[in-house]
Amino acid sequence: MNDAKNILLVGVGGQGIILVSKILTAGLLKAGYDVKMSEVHGMAQRGGSVTTQVRYGKKVFSPIIGVGQADILVSFEKMEAARWVEYLKPEGTVVVNNYEIPSIVIASGKADYPQGVIEALEKVFKTVTVDAGKAALEVGNIKTQNIVLLGALVKALELTDIDWIEIMKEIIPAKMVDINIAAFNKGMEL
């Protein structure tokens, strides 16, 4: 493996991961990095588990990584963090949203939502727990959870030199920009 940095974004279809990866890659590109991003569309989008990988560095070849190679795992949903941690480097960081979405297996009563996820993560990995739902509600729109997490990711990766506000203005529709900037700033503070 060369020295590219690897970001793995995971969550549930419909949580706005694609928008986050779009902003992220636009920012990294502007900062002069070589960037590759890989996402899977289709079947998984119907409420299934979804992942997006973003890699950046001086030169990036592969758009995807294997197990044990992510520098940071950002999980938009709590249980998903545990599903994908195998992809993290042993010294990698988990940013986990303390937010539960029961899968259909859980909803239909066939299994219970696992307990103690955050504690189990903390035991093994450097873990940053974010209450993105609460932060999003504080800025006034639960749908901005994804941007709160973007803020937390930018902070964890120390990518604060990039003008993210400018990038968001380019990508997000005008009437939604302010609330998303507020969400982003919240995420940076957490």
Partner 1 sequence: MKQLMSGNEAIARGAYEAGVTMAAAYPGTPSTEILENMVEYKEHIYSEWSPNEKVAAEVAIGASIAGARSICAMKHVGVNVAADPIFTYAYLGVNGGFVLVSADDPSMHSSQNEQDNRYYAKFAKMALIEPSDSQECKDFLAEAYEVSERFDVPVLFRVTTRISHSKCIVELGERKEVGHKPYARNIPKFVATPAHAKIAHVKVEQKLKDMEQYANTSILNKIEENGSKIGIITAGIAYQYVKEVFGDQVSILKLGFTYPLPMDLIRYFASKHETLYIVEELEPFMEEQIKAAGIQCIGKALVPNIYELNPDIVAQSLLNEKTETKKVDVNVVPRPPVLCPGCPHRGFFYTMSKKKNTVVTSDIGCYTLGGMEPLNAMDTCICMGAGFSAGMGMAKAFEVSGRDNKVFGVLGDSTFFHSGITGAIDILYNKGKMVPVVLDNSITGMTGHQENPGTGKTLMGESTTQMDPTDIMKAVGFKVLVVDPCDLKAMDDAAEEAVKSEEPTAIVTKRPCVLIKGLPPFKNKCVVNRENCKKCKMCLKVGCPAVFFKDGTAYIEASMCVGCEVCKQVCKFNAIEKVGE
Report the nearest approach of partner 1 to the CB of residue 8 (Å): 12
Buried b (16+ CB within 10 A) or exposed e, 62-101: eeebeeebbbbbbbbbbbbbbebbebbbeebbbbbbebeb
Restricting to residues 117-156, name those near partner 1 by CB under 8 A.
117, 120-121, 123-125, 142
Residue of 143, 139, 147 whose CA lies nearest to 169: 147
Q: For partner 1, which residue of 58, 116, 137, 165 counts as binding (CB under 8 A)?
A: 116
**110 sits near partner 1 (criterion: CB under 8 A):** yes
**13 sits near partner 1 (criterion: CB under 8 A):** yes
Report the nearest approach of partner 1 to the CB of residue 61 (Å): 4
Residue of 97, 96, 188, 190 whose CA lies nearest to 151: 188
7 to 24, 109, 114, 156, 174: CA distances (angstroms): 10, 33, 25, 11, 28
Site string for partner 1, 55-94 (x = CB under 8 A): -----xxxxxxxxxx---------xx-xx-xxxx-x----
**Vertex 95: Cα angle to 89 and 97 (nearest 5):** 140
Cα 139 to Cα 148: distance, rounded to the nearest angstrom: 10
**3 sits near partner 1 (criterion: CB under 8 A):** no
Cα 4 to Cα 155: distance, rounded to the nearest angstrom: 18
Q: For partner 1, which residue of 5, 16, 29, 190 counts as binding (CB under 8 A)?
A: 29
Residue of 23, 29, 20 whose CA lies nearest to 50: 20
**102 sits near partner 1 (criterion: CB under 8 A):** yes
SS3 (DSSP) at 3: coil
Report the nearest approach of partner 1 to the CB of residue 160 (Å): 22
**168 sits near partner 1 (criterion: CB under 8 A):** no
Q: For partner 1, which residue of 7, 9, 37, 136 counts as binding (CB under 8 A)?
A: 37
**171 sits near partner 1 (criterion: CB under 8 A):** no
Chain residues binding partner 1 by CB under 8 A are 1-2, 12-13, 25-26, 29, 34-49, 60-69, 79-80, 82-83, 85-88, 90, 102-114, 116-117, 120-121, 123-125, 142
